[in-house]
Amino acid sequence: MSLTDQGFAIYRDAARVHGRSITGQMTKALDADELAQLLALCDKLRIGVSGGSDDCVVDPEAE
């Protein structure tokens, strides 16, 4: 099963909106040092889950 190009575009747009929402909530709750710690921990988890690959970069600001 796979997404059509149009389906993937809809998914990508929804993911961006969701990512910006999460980012907005996090920046309200955490200070700069806490956000840096969270980013480092999330990167460590993401790389660990992907078997050491760093090819999955999530950037909600990317268009």
pLDDT of 2-23, one tens digit each? 889 999 999 999 999 999 999 8
The structure's pTM equals 0.53
Q: Give the helix, strand, coil percentages of the chain, each rounded to 5.
A: 70, 0, 30
Rounded distance, CA 43 to CA 61, Å? 17
**Pick from 31-35, 39-43, 50-54, 55-59: least confident:** 55-59
pLDDT category of residue 26 using cuts at 50, 70 and 90:
confident
Q: How many residues does the chain have?
A: 63
Question: 57 falls in which pLDDT band (50, 70, 90)?
Answer: low
Alpha carbon 4 to chain centroid, angstroms: 22
